[in-house]
Structures are given as structure tokens and as C-alpha cells.
Structure 1
Amino acid sequence: MTDKDDVVFGAIQQVPNLRSGLADTLIAQIESGALKPGQRLPTEQAIVQATGVSRTIVREALATLRAKGLIATRQGLGAFVSSNPTPPAFTILPNDLESIDEVQRVLELRMGIEYEAAGLAALRRTPEDIERIQACLDALDQAIEEGGYGAQEDYAFHRAILVATHNPYYGRLFDTFGSSMVPRQWARLDRMTPAERRRHATRMRREHHAIFAAIRDGNEMAARRTIRSHLSKSAARFEEMREANLKP
């Protein structure tokens, strides 16, 4: 083991036994220059031995770095810090959302983005926008009534609102996050009783219809209020999960 390895391992020995923690630490090492462009990373086995995490977690962490363009794998040689890494870009990958804390941070981010977007959509929406949002709402209603998660339909509904701002950066930002903005693994419908699922469906339908009605009617303040209320209630439900010590 080299002195450089000792420096890197010293920074990652204390991270939680989670892929996200290991990935975040390695990313910080790369961004700070502790791991330099072209430098070979320690082997998977060396990281396992130094940190105590499983080989699976190490591989998932390295896969995250590859997805972000921060490292490249050379056949038979191992993983190296990219010599010309892609420009830093903010992304949220589905596997990033491993804890309730992380999901709630995403909800906080969404509140900031969608609160403003809903108000702009109410002011700028066109008949075509209203028709598009209505179609997404109908699809979401159907998915929930059929007992599904409705994650893709939910994503499409919220994205349609961003498109209605007629500021393309909103839609592009949501596309960067993808379906991670609505993590289906946290829906927990399979753990609900039939009565709980009915209440969930009713609540989801009521909240989304209120958002749509405010935007359709051009009510800027109501649009902001209903989208914030919807996301705040989602955050409150995750807080209840935390208190119940539930795991995905």
C-alpha cells in the first residue's frame, strides 16, 4: 500500500457502511485534488480491507463515480481518476436515495424549484399546457386507482408544470434528476392495508387536482400554496417513517 493510499483511506475509514457515503468521500477526494487526474485508485479489495464495507458497496460506489465521469476503468489495470473529467454537474441518481434523510433533502430542493415554477406556470400557461397537464393528471389518477405506484405518471405531471413556465431551464433541470425526483421505492404501497391504500389514493388525487386547478385558473398564489402544501405533506410522511424506524 502506498503513502497516497494511506491518505485516501484515512479519509474514508469513518464513513457509514453505505455506498453513498463511500462515493461522496471519494468524490470529495477527487474534487479537492487529493486524488489527482490519472491517479489509480486503490483496488476493490484494498478499499474493502481499509474501510470494512462490502465488495458490493465498493463496486456500487465506483459505478457512481463512473456515471459521473469522474473515473474510468482500464481493463486489467483498475480504476483511474479521469484525466479530463466531465464538467462538474449536479445529478441525483436513484441509488443516491438510500435513506429518509436523503429523500427529504430532495423534497426540500423540489420545494424551492417547484414553488416558483407553479407560480410562473399559473401566469404563463397556454391552452396546450393545460391540456398536457390534464392528460398527465388523468394518467396519474388511473395508475393510482389501479393500485400502482404512479411514479412515472407523477414525474410526468410535475414536469408538465415546469414546461408550462415556458422557461426551458426548469424542464432541463428536472430531466437531469429523472425519476429520482419521485423515488418509487419509498411509496411503500405494498405495506399498506387496503384502507390505507384507499386513503393514500384519495389524498394524492386531492392534492394533485388542487395544484392543477390553481394553474388552470391562473391563480399564482394558489398554485404556489398548493404545490408547497403537497410537497410539505410528503416530507411529513417521511418524517413519520423515520420515527417509526422503517427501512426501504
Structure 2
Amino acid sequence: MAQFEEIGRQGYLPDRIASHILQQVDAGDLKPGDALPTETALAEAFGVSRNVLREAIARLRSDGVIETKQGRGAVVRSPSERTTFRIDAGRLDQKENLGDLFELRGLLEMDAAGLAAQRRNQDDLDELADALEIMRGAKDFDEQRLEADARFHRCLGQATRNDYLATIIDYLSSRLKDTTRATGAVYAKSDLMDVTVGEHQAILEAVRAKNAEAARAAMATHIRGAAERLGVTLPGSV
């Protein structure tokens, strides 16, 4: 039988909760077809807020471990139905893995920026500008700024009008959000927060101008810069 209890405070709570539930699934305590307890019950059991619990559940859903069914809530999926592409956030502390992820991100998001420049509408521009304004207004590299950064990239993916591309960009952004959170002190010690805002501004301006080539170049500059700020050097192709 699955056991849920108050979770330790070390580490990022949604990750720890998602990992705990995944361990219950892998151990067979939660079987395919089993429904998880309600959000309220799980939040109380883990001793966290419902917002924290929801982020953990969203992580498991994006990894294909659970699905939401009408009238049953979150239900465990069988291994054969789970997402085959999965990034283990716990392995991103290794430079080679982080480098591979940034290289993949560059290849996808450069073309996504070009497509967004060609296909965006005014609502897309408003969303991108709003996310950027939140990034610009935040004084610290906190959760609000992290989420605004991830939101900017999600909006860009949606502006491509390609649902598959938007989904994978959303997934990559969520994983890199974890890594950037852990290294937020790097940004706080210099003007690097202003640098990254400037990189996003250049992307937005190119997308607004419908300049696909400039959008791709601005995204390449941002991806390479973001990687270097985390101590990763990318190959010349990105």
C-alpha cells in the first residue's frame, strides 16, 4: 500500500514529492489504474500547500507517469503508456548532460523562434511582452522571475502554431527552470539578470518585426549565453 507522509524540506519540494510518488509507482505500491488521493489529501499528507502539490502532479503528468481521468482524478499509467522521452532533472548537475540538453534546446528553439516570427499574432506578442515585463521588474532571481522566463519560452512555442513543438519546448523549459533555480546566485552577483533580459528583448523585437532570420540569431545568442552562464560551452553549430 502506498505511503504518503510529510516530506523533508531539503531540495525543491515539487521535485521531492514527484520523486516520492514515482518511487511508490516503481515499487508497485501504486499500480497502473490506481487513482492517487485527492490534491487536498496529498497536500495534507506531505505537509505542503496545494500549489506545491499541483506542481509535483504536473511534473508526473508531463513525464507520462499519471494521467487525469474524468471523475477519478490522477490515475497511474502503465509503463507501456508512459512518455518515452524523459529528462531526469537529477542528472542535470553533470555538465555533459546539461550540455546535451542545451544543445537540443538550441536546435529546437532557434527554428521555433523563426516560425514564431512568421506565424505570431497580436495575442502572442502581448503574452511575450507581459512575461518579459515581469522578468524586467523582478529585483531578484526568484520564483516569479523563473516562471516568467519559462512562460516567455512557452509563449514562443505556442506562437509557432505547432502543437508538438510547443509541447516539447514547454517540457524543456520546465527542466531548465530547475537547473537555473539551483544556480540563481550566479545571476544575482552581477549584471547577468539584465543581460538575459536584453537577450529576451532582442528575440521579442525580431518576432514582432516578423524577421525570422533575426529571431533565430537572437535565440542562438540567448541559448549560448544561458549555457555559458551555467558553465557549459556549446559546439559552434548552436
Structure 1 contact 134–212 (Cα < 8 Å) conserved: yes
- Do residues 135 (structure 1) and 130 (structure 2) align? yes
Letter in 2 for 1:179: S
Q: CA deviation at 1:65?
A: 11
Residue of structure 1 in register with 2:96 after alignment: 101
Counterparts of 2:214 and 2:149 in 1: how far apart (Å)? 20
* Rg (Cα) greater in structure: 1
- Do residues 126 (structure 1) and 121 (structure 2) align? yes
Give CA deviations for 1:162-186 in whole Å, capped at 9, x if unaligned: 0000111122223434521232334
Structure 1 contact 91–177 (Cα < 8 Å) conserved: no
Give the counterpart of 1:224 among 216, 223, 228: 216
Residue of structure 2 in register with 1:152 after alignment: 147
Q: Any gaps of 5 or more consecutive residues in structure 2?
A: 1-14, 31-77, 234-238
Q: CA deviation at 1:151?
A: 1.6
Residue of structure 1 in register with 2:183 after alignment: 187
Give the total of aligned pairs: 169
Distance 1:69 1:174, change over 3 A: farther
Counterparts of 2:155 and 2:203 in 1: how far apart (Å)? 12
Q: CA deviation at 1:187?
A: 2.8
Counterparts of 1:222 and 1:192 in 2: how far apart (Å)? 29
Structure 1 contact 107–235 (Cα < 8 Å) conserved: yes
Q: CA deviation at 1:210?
A: 0.4
- Do residues 73 (structure 1) and 22 (structure 2) align? no
Distance 1:152 1:192, change over 3 A: closer
Structure 1 contact 65–71 (Cα < 8 Å) conserved: no
Distance 1:124 1:97, change over 3 A: same
Residue of structure 2 in register with 1:213 after alignment: 205
Counterparts of 1:159 and 1:237 in 2: how far apart (Å)? 21
Does the residue aligned with 2:140 lie in a helix, a strand or coil?
coil
Residue of structure 1 in register with 2:80 after alignment: 86
Counterparts of 2:128 and 2:198 in 1: how far apart (Å)? 15
Q: Any gaps of 5 or more consecutive residues in structure 1?
A: 1-59, 76-83, 242-248
Letter in 2 for 1:156: R
Distance 1:106 1:174, change over 3 A: same
RMSD: 3.2
Q: CA deviation at 1:66?
A: 7.2
Distance 1:166 1:103, change over 3 A: same
Distance 1:191 1:136, change over 3 A: closer
Residue of structure 1 in register with 2:229 after alignment: 237
Does the residue aligned with 1:122 lie in a helix, a strand or coil?
helix
Give the counterpart of 1:162 among 157, 163, 166: 157
Residue of structure 1 in register with 2:111 after alignment: 116
Letter in 1 for 2:161: H
Q: CA deviation at 1:230?
A: 0.7
Q: CA deviation at 1:147?
A: 1.2
Q: CA deviation at 1:207?
A: 0.7
Normalised by the length of structure 1, the TM-score is: 0.59
Does the residue aligned with 2:28 lie in a helix, a strand or coil?
strand
Distance 1:137 1:240, change over 3 A: same
